[in-house]
Chain A
Amino acid sequence: MNIVVAMKQIPDLQQIRISNRRPVLEDVPLTFGSIDKSALEAAVVIRESSGEEKVLVLSAGTEELEDTIKEALAAGGDEACLIIDESLAEADSSMIAQVLAAGIKQLDNVDLILFGEGSGDNYSGQVGSRVARLLELPQICYARDIKIDGDTAYVVRVLEDCEEVVEVKLPAIITVLSDIGEPRIPSVTQILKAGKKPKHFLDLDELGVSLDHSNPIITLSNLAPESNRKRIVVKDSAELIEVLKSENLIGG
């Protein structure tokens, strides 16, 4: 049985510059979101401990994916399933969910499908729930721990004020928190081997989905918030306390 990890290709957030409040994305390398990388780590750990067969990394995006996917294959993914189409560059959560669900239907013996609880860039957190609905599978979001025993997953779900220990019959969709596991750093050998791991390409026509484009999200603007900070350099602790007192921010 196989584990699918759905990962989203995003710009490397550390390298985005802001110019006149606009994000500059040219020359920013692409990577996967950090929570998605934790989901991959969780899948690899489950495969190592439970005798699952393969970790399949599923991603939908533009042709740059072919390069970005190596990162996931080096970090423990066994095979990649890539849905590549230029129209997916601007696709919203609803479209991506439809495409990923169609992709998963093409895969055999899928036991468990993992997502990060939110992508690194938009952090919208919808796609896992939408895919679960499209595939009519049970879902559990915000998992900090997953144990597999036979055809059942035991999941610790973390909410704001409590934790639930929940059991669900597989196959199921689970979205994970980044605390579930710190992504491993691949060795040079693993990076070299990643290039040789199998990659399956699916295009939208082959998937045979008729995409529902209704009720799309329209973006009117996307700007960095204005910042009017004073940026005053103080020389030592005493001066810092003085200025904070003069602004009545601290007592005394």
Chain B
Amino acid sequence: MAKIMIYSAKDTLALELLSAARTIASNTGDEIIALTINNDEQGQILADAGATVYKVNASDLILADVAAVADVIAQGVQQLGVEVVLLASDRRGKELAGSLAQIIGAGCITDVSAMQVKDGRIECERNALGGATVATQYIEGDRQVLAIAPKAFSAASGEGGSVTELQVTVKPSGIRVQEVRAKDSDSVNIEEATVIVAVGQGLKSKEDLAMAESLAQSLGGVVACSKPLATDKKWLSEDRVIGLSGKLCKPDLALLFGISGQVQFTVGIRDAKTIVAVNTDENATINQMADYILTADMHEIIPELNRLLG
């Protein structure tokens, strides 16, 4: 019987990986092992959800040295005879995925948004061509590293797990952490929002954000944006960017203002239940994926909406 190992430094993501692993195991009969590193509390959480946990305590290990973490996981893989490793596809997990795959000689698929297991073959869905398409792929071979997108699976529950210690060795690190600082952001989570008011390059000035903010407030939603507003103009924080290299959002209602509709953006909003596009260009690409289309200048429409809703 083959073995699947799961690892994420984040508790919620680790529990989601446990669900993903159970989806595979229900088809293949594989055994599931959860690995925790320098985190006894997480070991207990996973055991309480029914996982067979191996915990590593390596005080010399610097978690910011992701390659060193990959070395530790690789030792677990070798010692326990693991074939498939599931990691989270957050930034740490993706950095880890390539490194671990290279050490253990595995194929690797990241950003897995959905998974189907057929006759032992793990078929993964992920965005391709900048989000224009969704590819279904699998790794042909025993050694596999799969990085699963946050929220692709719900957190697992269960009972009757166990915790066992695992011994590993840690090499001296070439990386030193000088400082860890909380992110300088307004700490909004656009992925959780049920209503999103998104603005794009059609927005004329930073001052005009105020009208979008007030619309979002009256709808119980949050303001988000396309990438250039955060990275080029720096009017909003990176946390508010919708898209392939930003956040993938699934609100009930998305109001998109002055957004043309490049695929790298639309991939982040196409799972919204209802999409409204307001754009001065009646042929804007975004209109192809909208439920309601209003061809007009947002600088007139947003104040009107605020007045009508206020």
Interface residues of A in 18-54 (CB under 8 A from B): 18, 23, 35
C-alpha spacing A214/B135, complex, angstroms: 21
User: When chains A and B are docked, how far (Å) is the Cα of A163 from the Cα of B178?
Assistant: 11
Q: Check: A222 CB closer than 8 A to any chain B CB.
A: yes
Cβ–Cβ contact A249 & B95, under 8 A: no
Are B175's CB and A140's CB within 8 A? yes
Chain B contacts for A142, CB-based, 8 A: 91, 95
Nearest CB in chain A: distance from B10 CB, A: 9
Q: Does A192 contact B (CB under 8 A)?
A: no
Chain A residue numbers with a CB within 8 Å of B183 are: 158-159, 161-163
**Interface 9-mer from A76-84, A202-210, A231-239:** A231-239
The segment from B19-27, B38-46, B49-57, B62-70 that touches chain A is B62-70
The 8 Å CB contact of B238, one of A126, A165, A179, A236, is A179
Judge whether A240 and B294 touch: CB under 8 Å: yes
| Closest-CB distance, A22 to chain B (whole angstroms) | 8
Distance in angstroms from A86 CB to nearest chain B CB is: 21
Whether A188 sits at the interface, judged by CB under 8 Å, is: no
Task: Check B293–A231 contact: CB distance below 8 A.
Answer: yes
Taking the nearest CB of chain A, how far is it from the CB of B249, in angstroms?
Answer: 15
Cross-chain contact B98 with A128 (CB below 8 angstroms):
yes
Interface of B is mostly: mixed
A229:B294 contact, CB within 8 angstroms: no
A35-B130 contact given A164-B64, A230-B292, CB 8 Å threshold: no
Identity of the chain B residue whose Cβ is nearest the Cβ of A21 in the assembled complex:
B133
- Complex formed: what's the CA distance from A130 to B102 in Å? 5
A92 to B128 CA separation, bound complex (whole angstroms): 13
A250 and B245 form a contact (CB under 8 A): no
Q: Are A138 and B65 in contact (CB under 8 A)?
A: yes
Tell me if B293 and A125 are in contact (CB < 8 A): no
**A13-B262, A231-B287 known; A214+B141 contact, CB < 8 A:** yes
Q: State the Cβ distance, B261 to closest chain A Cβ, in Å.
A: 11
Report the nearest B residue to A235, measured CB to CB.
B294
| Residues of A contacting B270 in the complex (Cβ-Cβ under 8 angstroms) | 225, 227
B174 near A124 (CB under 8 angstroms)?
A: no
The answer, yes or no, to whether A139 is at the interface (CB within 8 Å) is yes
Inter-chain contact A169/B97, CB cutoff 8 Å: no
Decide if B137 touches A218 in the complex (CB within 8 Å).
Answer: yes
Could you tell me if B98 and A126 are in contact, using CB atoms closer than 8 angstroms?
Answer: yes
CB-CB under 8 A from B136, the residues of chain A are: 219-222
Q: Known contacts A159-B92, A222-B128, A234-B293; is A164 also within 8 Å of B135 by CB? A: no
Q: Quick one: which of A122, A169, A214 contacts B128, CB cutoff 8 A?
A: A122
Indicate if B305 sits at the interface (CB-CB under 8 A).
yes
Task: Specify which chain A residues have a CB less than 8 angstroms from the CB of B263 in the assembled complex.
Answer: 13, 16
Q: Is B144 an interface residue (CB 8 A)?
A: yes
Residues of B within 8 A of A234 (CB): 292-294
B65 near A216 with CB under 8 A, answer no
Contact (Cβ within 8 A) B305 A125: no
Contact yes or no, A129 B99, CB < 8 A: yes
A222 partner residues in chain B, CB cutoff 8 A: 128-129, 133-136
A13 to B253, CA, bound (A): 27
Instruction: Give the chain A neighbours of B238 by CB distance below 8 A.
Output: 158, 179
**Bound Cα distance A127, B180 (Å):** 26
Asked whether, in the complex, the Cβ of A157 is within 8 Å of the Cβ of B99, the reply is no
Q: Does A252 sit at the interface, judged by CB under 8 A?
A: yes
Q: Is B169 an interface residue (CB 8 A)?
A: no
CB-defined contacts of B176 to chain A, threshold 8 Å:
166-168
A212: interface (CB < 8 Å) = yes
Centre residue among B132, B136, B182 by max chain A CB count within 10 A: B132
Check B133 against A35 for contact (C-beta < 8 Å).
no
B140-160 interface code vs A (CB 8 A; 1 in, 0 out): 111110000000000000000
Q: What's the Cα separation between A94 and B97 when bound, in Å?
A: 12
The yes or no answer to A187 lying at the interface (CB within 8 A) is no
* Cβ contacts under 8 Å, A133 to chain B: 67, 70, 98-99, 102-103
- Chain B residues in 8 Å Cβ range of A141: 66, 91, 94-95
Contact with B along A240-252 (1 / 0, CB 8 A): 1101100101101
| In the complex, the 3 A-B pairs of residues with the closest C-beta atoms, listed nearest first | A129-B98, A126-B98, A215-B141
**Can you give 22 A-B contacts (C-beta < 8 A)?**
A13-B263, A16-B129, A123-B111, A123-B245, A125-B110, A129-B67, A130-B102, A141-B95, A162-B181, A168-B174, A178-B231, A214-B107, A214-B141, A219-B137, A221-B135, A233-B294, A234-B294, A236-B296, A237-B301, A241-B308, A250-B195, A250-B253
Question: Which residues in B have some Cβ–Cβ distance to A below 8 Å?
Answer: 64-67, 70, 90-92, 94-99, 101-103, 105-111, 123, 127-130, 132-144, 173-184, 195, 219, 227, 230-232, 238, 244-245, 252-253, 262-264, 270, 274-276, 287-296, 301, 304-305, 308-309
- Supplied contacts A142-B95, A160-B91, 11 more A-B pairs, CB within 8 Å: A125-B98, A127-B98, A132-B67, A139-B95, A159-B183, A216-B139, A217-B139, A223-B133, A227-B270, A237-B308, A252-B309
